[in-house]
Amino acid sequence: MTTLKAVRGTRDLLPPETAFWNRIETTARAVFARYNFGEIRTPVFEDTSLFARSVGEETDIVSKEMYTWDDRARAQSEKTQSLTLRPENTAGVVRAYIEHKLGETGQLQKLYYIGPQFRRERPQKGRYRQFSQIGAEVIGPPSAGSESPLRDAEILEMLATLLDELGITGWKLEINSVGSSADRARYNEVLRTALVSVAPRMCEDCQRRAVSNPLRVLDCKVPEDQPIIDTLPKITDSLDEASKAHFAQVLAALDAAGVPYTRNHRLVRGLDYYTRTTFEFTHGGLGAQNALLGGGRYDGLSEAIGGPKAPGIGFAMGEDRLVLTLLALDTAKPQLADVYVAPLGENMNPAALTLARELRRNGLSVELGDGSFRLKKSFEAADKVARRIVILGEDELQSGILTVKDFSTGIQTKVPRAELAAHLAGK
Ligand code: HAM
């Protein structure tokens, strides 16, 4: 029989690496709480048209990478429906914002999410078919200040803080403005005209995009096309005064807060819903897939999927890539339990469980051995998984005095049982 394996592009996350995932999520939740964000959890699959209408039909995500199927009707009352595993979470959040009429509160909605996303991409380091994003969105009616450039700057300042607190050093923030939807429409036409003479020399995808959605030409990664793309008109030159002023205010706030950035006029991002500010944080340690996170403003998205006017801005971090970066930065240390409790003889097993229970209830992490192990085997096992070992035999049980051996120093200490938890917690 052939052995079954995890599907291409998916993987199992195992300890000790999962400790990184947990640490990242705990830090992210703590930072989000300080900025007064609340958690949203949307379904893993949605109606296919949600992504077609928000992310955009012409994007790589929608045209090539979605896991889509016809969900067959099971009863007369049901219709067969085209469903899709979410390739990203912004569309789902905005759908939920509309469905639950969150705009009627008149408040800004500050929502974060952590969860799996699915794209049928070519797997490589940092690129998977199931991956996890940690993201956040700020969305609300214009009267709540949702269009303010301060929202953009605050999100970027929060991200700089979060990456610093995660211990990710050496990140780079790239930022651009793609203007209002009118600016983008104007730029698309400028590009369309400019592409007429050069598109025949470009890749097949670009030839198609030159006609259907010229902006997407800027996403092209084909090396031979890059010199051609460099000669195309820049979006910066198509921005109207309001968009220019908005962008200038975002940058001024970042300057004041001391958040460093680089402007990149080609950063239009591979999703159609963006307006005005777009950004990515990259990291050199990641290789080809160097984007730690990406995001931007999407002032027309709610209306595009049938909702009220609700400008917004958000981002999503690739959690897999955060873990890779931390591992590369060598902050990875194996997680060791505080203590290994080794019962001496099988008849000591019940007493050892009781001692482990006492210590665990005091907040210590405890690895419990087995009384059938010889002392040498207990020491060898303990040395691999714990920082210290406590032997529990008849004598220790009777006297109430236990011996703790610390593996890093080699020192043995005698400790009364009543003081053991405090002693172990003290180091
Ligand atoms: P995105 O740029 O498509 O944006 O994805 C955001 C991040 O998710 C990327 O920078 C990367 O770190 C990670 N990522 C994307 N695809 C993969 C993959 N196949 N494997 C591993 N990691 C991946 C969005 O998804 C937008 N929804 C972000 C956003 C939120 N914009 C506004 N609000």
Low-confidence winner among 91-95, 130-134, 223-227, 254-258 (lowest mean pLDDT): 223-227
Distances (CA, A) of 33 to 30, 136, 154, 222: 5, 12, 14, 41
Mutate to test the pocket of ligand 1, among 24, 59, 67, 117 (most ligand atoms within 8 A of CB): 117
Separation CA 363–CA 376 (nearest Å): 28
Pocket test for ligand 1, best of 7, 8, 60, 88 (most atoms within 8 A of CB): 88
Q: Each residue of 281-307: pLDDT tens digit?
A: 999 888 888 999 999 999 999 999 999
Predicted pLDDT at 287: 83
The reported pLDDT for the residue numbered 81 is: 94
Q: Whose CA is nearest to atom 9 of ligand 1?
A: 293
How do residues 345-385 score in pLDDT, each as one tens digit? Answer: 999 999 999 999 999 999 999 999 999 999 999 999 999 99
- Assess whether pLDDT exceeds 80 at residue 427: no
Q: What whole-number percentage of the chain has pLDDT above 70?
A: 99
The rounded mean pLDDT for the chain is 95
Peptide bond into 308 cis (omega under 30): no
For residues 202-215, give the mean pLDDT: 92
How remote is the C-alpha of 407 from its chain's centroid? 37
| CA-nearest residue, atom 14 of ligand 1 | 318
pLDDT value for 331? 61
The residue to mutate among 133, 146, 173, 272, having the most atoms of ligand 1 within 8 angstroms of its beta carbon, is 133
Residue nearest to atom 15 of ligand 1 (CA): 318
- Least confident among 235-239, 277-281, 300-304, 414-418: 235-239
Ligand 1 centre distance from Cα of residue 280 (Å): 10
Predicted local distance difference test score (pLDDT) of residue 82? 96
Is the pLDDT score of 333 beyond 70? Answer: no
Nearest CA to ligand 1 atom 10: 293
Gap from CA of 291 to ligand 1 centroid (Å): 8
Buried b (16+ CB within 10 A) or exposed e, 377-416: ebbebbeeebbbbbbbbeebbeeeebebbebeeeeeeebe
Question: pTM, whole model, 2 decimals?
Answer: 0.90
Distance, CA 196 to ligand 1 centroid (Å)?
31
**Span from the CA of 421 to the centroid of ligand 1 (angstroms):** 45
What's the pLDDT at 159?
98
What pLDDT does residue 76 have? Answer: 85
Reply yes or no on whether the pLDDT at 332 is more than 80: no
Q: Is the pLDDT confidence value at 203 over 70?
A: yes
pLDDT value for 330: 67
Ligand 1 atom 8, closest CA: 318
Give the residue whose CA is nearest to atom 11 of ligand 1.
Answer: 318
Distance of CA 103 from the midpoint of ligand 1 (Å) = 25
More confident residue, 79 or 41: 41
Measured distance CA(64)–CA(55) in Å, rounded: 12
Q: What's the CA-to-centroid distance between 283 and ligand 1, angstroms?
A: 14
pLDDT in tens, 157-182: 999 999 999 999 999 999 999 999 89
Give distance in angstroms: CA of 385 to centre of ligand 1.
36
Per-residue confidence band for 219, with pLDDT thresholds at 50, 70 and 90: confident
Residues flanking ligand 1, CB < 6 Å: 88-90, 119, 121, 126-128, 131, 133, 135, 137, 291-296, 314-316, 318, 320-321
> Which pLDDT value is given to residue 142?
97
Q: What is the pLDDT of residue 75?
A: 87
Write the residue with the smallest CA distance to atom 1 of ligand 1.
294
Q: Summarize pLDDT for 57-91 with one digit per residue, the tens.
A: 988 899 999 999 999 988 888 899 999 999 999 99
Token digits for 367?
């690895």
Give residue 133's pLDDT band: very low, low, confident or very high (50, 70, 90).
very high
Residue 204 has pLDDT above 60, yes or no: yes
